[in-house]
Structure 1
């Protein structure tokens, strides 16, 4: 795939008023979600759930792409149509999660590093054949009195850069996700410092690995107070701090930034995105790549009657996509 094609896919991912839905939960994570609503996490139930999400009528009005798990990328609808074909026919780009999750970083208690680089070149070739147009790799940065160490940030950003270079070699747009966790009692200023250091390290590593920024998407966490912090920053403060941090670290050549919801409520994630998009001009479009903030309400509805509540659950999926699509334009109203 040419450089122009990578840029074209990245631009399509950032189409105005559209975002990415993340349905890339591992089977282990999916089991936790299903357990919470009393559903058995069988392969067929996971397939049926993802079919409900991906076949939501008019979903592409507000969704440009969906991040899938390995199992999902290979699955089909009940009628036998591959999910990737359903998506492309609807104008939704298929994406794929390719990392293998975080493990403890030896020598640095409390820090983790994401694994999955071994064999990635061959896996990406296969994913491209299966129809994936973009990929995602998530690094995890936790904040505590001792964490994160500089080594943790550097190791994770180095892995993100190696992954991104391999993606572009395979003709797949890399989505780089350095998530600064909301867990902890830290205030918004500490989150700002850690997020700024992480993003500076990330773009330095991407540059060193000759990654084409015009064919790369950043999936960023917002600058937030830790969930256990007694003083929670309000919507305007979060939006202002996040924008200030991004403007000081992210090159203007990037096609766009999508945010993860990262433990925020559905409405908080939408309100923060909307506020940022109402704060004047920015070098890049800001949109969303939400998982739980897109799915939680729909899963609860669907779980009560998996056969009978499909349309009702899909209405909720569409409503969440619409609200976040409006927030990506700064036009959402509570």
Structure 2
């Protein structure tokens, strides 16, 4: 059996990669960390003397663990109101992500991508993530999903069509993203309906995930269209003083506090180029239980966003 200290050092060299795989699979850093920890426990108990590629072995173990979690999630029907958002990665708007965050957020794993991944079957999601993002061959993916390599290829192909049909490449600069988010917040605070319409795409979609909780802005739901979204946004007028600028999965966003407790995380997706860019999607995590699992330390001490019109 390998020396435990040596094995632990080898495992640590793969941890960032394994967290990246698990986050794309599960859409939750807390669940991803649990899966990676379970992989370490399996490694510590396993006889790996015959394992030539430890990274590949660990990736397979993590993938199987994530697949089991996705299947259990589906069986429990964790989306009682039809809206289930991924748990975002929140960082300071003024600082570049640390190397580990950069690795996890690579390949455009924004909220829009994660939301589309949530619509896939567990097997489709695994095949797409492992092949299209991490380059694993279908011969290696097939045993994990208990399919032939040809069937695994078809799973990834179906997932790829869904992703390409739903996720548009972003061409909006970070400065323009922040300008739009600040203008959205200023207009909501001022109760300026017309100003809200100017920053919203006509086909804008808002998804609010409150879990099973009845929040001050209602339960989980989806709202479409600029006029209706603008009307709903006015509900945030009283909350604007508690809003803090944040980077949400690499894009401009907001964390809203009520007193010293987090109330919501708002992630934004943008469409268009230059000055014509508008807010196309707003994803709001309101579920108090899931908010507790999100690491907000990077923005908890940041001053409130200036929302003066």
Determine which structure has more spread, i.e. the larger CA radius of gyration. 2
Structure 1 length-normalised TM: 0.25
